[in-house]
Amino acid sequence: MAKQTWKPGNMLYPLPAVMVSVTDGKGKDNIITIAWVGTVCTNPPMVSISVRPERFSYEMIRSTGEFVINLTTEKLAFAADYCGVRSGREVNKFKETGLTREKAEFVKAPMIKEAPVSIECRVREVKELGSHHMFLADVLAVHAEEAYMDEKNKFDLKLSRPLVYSHGEYSGIGKPIGTFGYSIRKKKPNKKNCRKC
């Protein structure tokens, strides 16, 4: 197979489609759907989101220095898309989508009750990079829905049917192929064919 050469662009796909909830601190809340989001550091726990300065939520994040990343599911696809294409200048996204505000523990921005995971964040640094400005943020708390705990009391996100975004399309993540480290894990002998077992 041969590869074509294209002009520089963003081809890191798929990406999580997350709904970021924000507030202006004066009673106005909003939700913005973002795919430019990522893990930055484990210790201290940090994430990043990249937002265009012209977006309605941008000034709210910039002025309060806080936001909540809410993971999405296949059931939340319609709401996630709506919050990405409609502006909070024109509509109340909580009202129009039927999503429920939930009080956060450390930030004033609300969490989204229907999200399987909500991550409270405080901005540490803003990098003005070009079309998007990157907000580097400390994770203050993670809230996980108890309904997705498995029989061993371990959080199993795949039970929520997470939503991802790729080239303008939303998709589920499909069937798991392996777990971290499975490529080097020793295989258990097949007891039916093992004479030494």
Q: Domain holding 132: CATH number?
A: 2.30.110.10
Stretch (H or E) spanning 64: helix 56-64
Residue 6 lies in a domain: no
Is 2 a domain residue? no
For residue 59, the enclosing domain spans: 15-172
End-to-end distance of the chain based on CA atoms, in angstroms?
A: 45
CA distance 34 to 17: 6
**Continuous H helices in 65-153:** 77-85, 93-97
The pLDDT, as a whole number, for residue 88 is: 93
- The helix/strand/coil state of 88 is coil
Q: Kindly state whether residue 148 falls inside one of the protein's structural domains.
A: yes
Q: Residue 196 above 60 pLDDT?
A: no
Q: Which residues contact 64 (CB under 8 A, 6 or more apart)?
A: 22, 23, 24, 25, 107, 108, 109
> Apex CA 40: angle with CA 39 and CA 43, to 5°?
105
Domain assignment present for 186: no
Q: For residue 150, what pLDDT is reported?
A: 85
Query: What total of structural domains would you count in the chain?
Result: 1
Residue 182 lies inside a defined structural domain of this protein: no
Residue 84 within a domain: yes
**Using 50, 70 and 90 to split pLDDT, how confident is the model at 24?**
very high
Residue 189 — pLDDT band, cuts 50, 70, 90?
low
4 assigned to some structural domain: no
The chain-wide mean pLDDT, for the chain, equals 92
Residue 192 is predicted with a pLDDT of 61
What lies within 8 Å, CB to CB, of 90 at 6+ separation is none
For residue 115, tell me if it sits in a domain: yes
pLDDT tens digit string along 126-153?
999 999 999 999 999 999 999 988 888 8
